[in-house]
Amino acid sequence: ETGVTQTPRHLVMGMTNKKSLKCEQHLGHNAMYWYKQSAKKPLELMFVYSLEERVENNSVPSRFSPECPNSSHLFLHLHTLQPEDSALYLCASSQDGGYLTTEAFFGQGTRLTVV
Amino acid sequence: KNQVEQSPQSLIILEGKNCTLQCNYTVSPFSNLRWYKQDTGRGPVSLTIMTFSENTKSNGRYTATLDADTKQSSLHITASQLSDSASYICVVRTGTASKLTFGTGTRLQVTL
């Protein structure tokens, strides 16, 4: 248990559905991240939130919409996804301070399948 | 362009044997390098962190090395166990902001 909890662990959704992934951290960290991990590809950074403000958006399609209501919670809202969006979505958190960033702790991920 | 390359892509070894995984990077400026272990369907968990001034660091049966001149790192696993079966990911952090560059990982399978 890393202190970062993701729900659900598995999700199957149709291309017309709307769903949300949830991430919660109890580590007191001030930065949270969404990563996408596709088969045989490196982890891809999607979004970065620092102090509840989005500080990075790595050209992610608008069908992925993040939300960070407070420093402990992070959501990824999904709508009209494509089959190629099927992947493991990982949430991470870290404590950032200027140029000093501690280790990123990862959640167990949500395995998403788009049918 | 910042890149992290790992080799081999996959590896099968017998239980009890040793193995070494490689990581070459072109990330600049360099801040630190971490080795993560990722069990199937789970998030990565940090094994070791190497900073610029460190050459070797051990964590139980895991020993990481870093050569900052050649921009290479290795992870040596001693007396492998079945539970070592996982993907091992090399992650390099730049010296500015919070940029992480991930390698594609090495898939290790330990068999009887």
pLDDT digit string (tens) for A55-101? 777 789 999 999 999 999 999 999 999 999 999 999 999 887 554 55
- pLDDT value at position A102? 66
Tell me, yes or no, if A92 comes closer than 8 A to chain B by beta carbon.
yes
Tell me, yes or no, if A43 comes closer than 8 A to chain B by beta carbon.
yes
- pLDDT value at position B97? 58
Q: Find the CB nearest A2 among B45, B89, B97.
A: B45
Q: Which residues 28-57 in chain B show a CB within 8 A of chain A? A: 34, 41-46, 49
Mean pLDDT on B79-94? 94
**Nearest CA distance, B7 vs chain A (angstrom):** 13
Mean pLDDT on A48-53? 83
Tell me, yes or no, if A4 comes closer than 8 A to chain B by beta carbon.
yes
Q: Say whether A92 and B97 touch across the interface (CB within 8 A).
A: no
For an interface test with B, give the residue of A1, A43, A44 to mutate (most B CBs within 10 A).
A43
pLDDT digit string (tens) for B36-47? 999 988 889 999
**Nearest CA distance, A82 vs chain B (angstrom):** 21
Mean pLDDT on A33-50? 89
Q: How far apart are CA B12 and CA A52, in angstroms?
A: 43
Which is it for strands B106-111 and B10-14: parallel, antiparallel or unpaired? Answer: parallel
With cut-offs at 50, 70 and 90, classify the pLDDT of residue A43. Answer: confident
- Three-state DSSP at A97 gives strand
Residue A1 has pLDDT above 80, yes or no: no
- pLDDT value at position B72? 96
Q: Say whether A103 and B49 touch across the interface (CB within 8 A).
A: yes
pLDDT digit string (tens) for B57-69? 999 999 999 999 9
Residue of B nearest to A41 (CA): B104
- pLDDT value at position B15? 97
Mean pLDDT on B17-35? 92
Nearest partner of A10 among A98, A80, A115, A94, judged by Cα: A115
- Beta bridge partners of residue A110, listed in sequence order: A89
